[in-house]
Structure 1
């Protein structure tokens, strides 16, 4: 096989990024038209997808992803900022988190089964390798009428995008306890000697993950057990922050003050100075990844989605 054939095969292998991206964008735009208060989710997912297209192994521009100049211009008119900032600002989270929030807004948080079914229907025709989460997590307290808090696994492909978006989530999206726990291990699956921000969830919290395609419950991986004290017999250590649990628990801790107070990290290494040292170490890795080709000239800001009329 010659170089040209190998290049062509590689391009064909990467094309599902583009087709998945367009289908997800199309669906989110359609949903937005019937879901009041959801325009910022479209604004955010456009930026997130355009950013990941830029750093994909085969880069795709917004124009290549959308593939129709009229649609590009219509989106630019309604959502100009993603086109302006996808090469200079970082997304706060991966795209499928925006999809999840859209569906939770549509179905309401108490309708767990409907939320799962909507996600399953969306991803069924999509290639599972690009821009699609494999897992959903649901967290809530063991009290009557407790609010359910959702999260999905990172919808990134490959080490570089994963490292970038996990770091960005630590800095800009996740609750500080969750971010501290993830930064304890990021990026090499080895606990820092000088900082241990891990914590144990109180027994009053139920945190359960489900395979999105088949719907069956799955046990926490060893990484999530290490981060949050979740009980498991699993030995698989996924990249810390990659799973659905961090986002779900972050959303819970942001809303449930009593749970957060019971989840405080207990290590005496958790000092402002040590946390800042851990944060700086994560930032070093993040900046290193951004300098790889194709280069992202990060201006230091994280993209703030806006509700546009």
Structure 2
């Protein structure tokens, strides 16, 4: 029995090497892209912090010096991007790493080039181990499902592995990143997939907007899950309920609502008091702190990381 357990542990540690390998490949690719893409340095800064944080809470843990086997690469990154190395143990990321990858590719390809953006993501994913730091779904939203020339807003599913990293990053996105309507909807159900009795921040987005998700691995359109129907009023026949906030739709709709005032003004929001919104935020933060204690991450200052601007 002892030998079997030892073998299981060794196999687990071998599979976890996918985290380290993907982290290295993604960071090097982002760094290369940034060198050719003006105005993208902050995305490398942000993804370094996000990956270092997830590496810290991974089991086993992967500190930065284990992700980079080459000391010269590590030192060059530390010199160019000192803040992620300084703050990954004390501040939480505002979103998961693949969202930074998505932003980089959208910046490089331009938002209107939807197929090229999907293709670039798929090419990157093919070179990576499954599960680790990789999103499986992309969502594209537009203010009109008939005007194909309207601006596109993108989002990807959470690129976290395991329940605790997912809970942490979803809570962080609610508290620090997403549009207030999207965060309010997700906080209605976070973290237990059960609707709060005292707070209903769910919304119904206008029926004439476009909000379509696609599988990056199978390159096919995906219907919204039951969770996204409950959060945003998206039509679906699906009965699967993913963790609320895990899908690509929240990020995509958040970007749409932040930038399209007309859509935001015609989005129906369930009524709730400011006091109950604050209570929901306090509860999400309390749950977040409980998860951090569970994984023995006891150094959070309460702050969320701000990447260095250009």
Is TM (by shorter chain) over 0.5? yes
Structure 2 residues without counterparts, runs of 5 or longer: none
Provide the alpha-carbon RMSD of the alignment. 1.1
Does the 8 A contact of 1:138 with 1:248 survive in 2?
A: yes
- Residues 1-309 of structure 1 mapped to structure 2, 5 A cutoff: 1-142=3-144, 143=147, 145-267=149-271, 270-308=272-310
CA deviation after TM superposition for structure 1 residue 271, in Å: 0.9
Does the 8 A contact of 2:223 with 2:238 survive in 1?
A: yes
Q: 1:249 & 1:72 partners in 2: Cα distance?
A: 36
CA deviation after TM superposition for structure 1 residue 2, in Å: 4.5
Q: 2:5 & 2:231 partners in 1: Cα distance?
A: 44
CA deviation after TM superposition for structure 1 residue 307, in Å: 2.9
Q: Deviations over 1:240-264 (max 9, x none)?
A: 0000000000000000001001114
CA deviation after TM superposition for structure 1 residue 133, in Å: 0.1
CA deviation after TM superposition for structure 1 residue 107, in Å: 0.5
Does the 8 A contact of 2:154 with 2:251 survive in 1?
A: yes
TM-score normalised to structure 1 length = 0.97
Q: SS of the counterpart of 1:209?
A: strand
CA deviation after TM superposition for structure 1 residue 294, in Å: 3.8
TM-score normalised to structure 2 length = 0.97
- How many residues were matched structurally? 306
Structure 1 residues without counterparts, runs of 5 or longer: none
Q: SS of the counterpart of 1:277?
A: helix
Does the 8 A contact of 1:290 with 1:297 survive in 2?
A: no
